[in-house]
Structure formats: C-alpha cells, structure tokens
Amino acid sequence: MTQHYFITGTSSGLGRGLTERLLARGDRVAATVRQADALHELQQRYGDRLLVLQCDLTEARAVQTSVARAFEAFGHLDVIVNNAGYGLFGAAEALSDAQIRRQIDTNLLGSIAVIRAALPGLRAQRKGLIVQVSSEGGQIAYPGFSLYHATKWGIEGFVEAVAKEVAPFGIRCLIVEPGPTSTQFGAGLDHGEWSDAYDGTPVDEVRRAIEGRSGAVFAFADADKTVDAMLHAIDNEPRPLRLALGRSAYTSIRSALQARLAEVEEQEAVANSVMPESR
C-alpha cells in the first residue's frame, strides 16, 4: 500500500537517500529543501508523487504552511521524518551568539515546529509515525560539540515526552541515532572561532581528528544500509523508541548508559537521605 511521507532536509544525506528509496518503491513524498531546484531530477522522474516544498525550518510560519500543503496534496500523511540539521564545532565560549541561535533554531526549534504542525492532522486521522533523526550525540557528548549536543539531547527529551502524550491517538514515535555515517555531515560542519587557550585540550584533540591530523580513524557506517535500517524500523512492529545505527553509535551509547547507571546506583543512599523522616 502506498505510504505518504513528509521529510525535511532532503537535498542530501540520509534525507535524500530516504526520499529516493521511497519514491522508487512507489510511495509519495512531500520533501522540504532550502534551494528550490535541489530535487529537480527526482521531480522530473516521479511527477506528482514528489511534492517539493521550499522551506526554511527556522521560520515557524513556513513550516506550518509546508505541512499544511502536504496534508492538502496527499489527503493524509503516514510518516513525518525530521531529518534536517547540521553540526556546529567549537569550544562553547568561542561560539558566536549568531551561531548558537542558528544551531538551536534549526536542529531543535525547527524539529519541534514540524512535529507541532503535524500533530493536529495526525490526531484527526488517529494514526501516524513521527521519525526524529537525532544522533549518537543525543545520548553521549564530545568536547567541542556542546551546542550540537544541546539540540540533540533536547529534541530527544521533547520527542520522548510527546510520544507519551500522543500514544492514545494512535501516533507513534521513533528516534534514530546514527553514529558517523558516510554522508555530507562533515562538509556542512560550521566552526566557531578558534581560541589558543584550548590548544592541547580535549577540544583540540577532536579538532585535529576532524581535520585528519591526529591519526584517528572513524568507523563510518554505510549511508545506504543506514536508510535500509531506518525503513525496516518504520515498516515493522515492534518498533523501539530509540534506534542506534552504526558500530560507533551502539558501542558509545551502550558504554555511556552503563556508566550513567553505575553512577546513579552509587547515589541511592544520598538520594534517600534528603527524604523527610517517616513518622
């Protein structure tokens, strides 16, 4: 049966791969892009099965208009995929206010706006799936990516809460957490001003790794296989709330969760010590 999708950030990366795969198998896609001609080739090939929507996710009204157009064109939407986003690297104190605002507006507030705009329509039809593309960086943190992590940890908390709110309406949520993947993420990375005060620190180590000057080798997941895994999770039940994709994601997230669990378990006595004495 033909499925109707709304996907953000479709000009490249996982969003582009997902759009191509869905169209090839016969689904319909409402795809947001920032540049109007970014999907010209796909538009020519698939005609009215692809609705291209030029939309800046930092503008709430544009998001609402795009989602409304997709519902109107397709009649209903089965899956909402929040994929648009980018990385910002630099020591927290060295990032400009404009860089911080743009990162939050795009990765966090833009994703929130899409979900809020889609919920009334999904509620009315009593079904739907919200797929939020996050990152292993929504569960772990690297020095130099503080603002990126703030947006990913933030959107994961938002989606987890929303999942509980909308479950009675037949709406489900899936948070996808890829690790390093062979996409254009690195090419699109924004960089803050470098401060010499951070020479030789963990932020500098990460910077050197990004620039290929440290000898560090990243284990990149295959982008096509990542799209395959996303589609399998979308198409099949039971479906987890969170889906880690890539060896790095699985290993890093598992290690971080184990460490956090061990730390909190050591705090049982002090946690209980602040409770009022029972009478």
SS3 18: helix
In whole angstroms, give the CA distance from residue 19 to residue 229: 14
Q: Is 5 a catalytic residue?
A: no
What type of residue sits at position 95? L
In whole angstroms, give the CA distance from residue 159 to residue 156: 5
In whole angstroms, give the CA distance from residue 131 to residue 174: 5
Q: Is 250 a catalytic residue?
A: no
- The two tokens of residue 167 are 């479950």
Q: Could you tell me if 179 and 134 are in contact, meaning their C-beta atoms sit under 8 angstroms apart?
A: no
Among residues 5, 46, 86, 148, the one annotated as catalytic is 148
**Selection from 104, 79, 100, 133 nearest residue 243 by Cα:** 133
Dihedral sign, Cα of residue 233, residue 237, residue 242, residue 245:
negative
In whole angstroms, give the CA distance from residue 7 to residue 1: 19
DSSP states of 202-243: HHHHHHHHHTT-S-----PBPHHHHHHHHHHHHHSSS--SEE
Among residues 46, 86, 111, 152, the one annotated as catalytic is 152
Q: Is 152 a catalytic residue?
A: yes
Q: Could you tell me if 12 and 184 are in contact, meaning their C-beta atoms sit under 8 angstroms apart?
A: yes
DSSP states of 179-191: -SBSSSTTTT-EE
Among residues 46, 66, 86, 134, the one annotated as catalytic is 134
Annotated active-site positions, please? 134, 148, 152
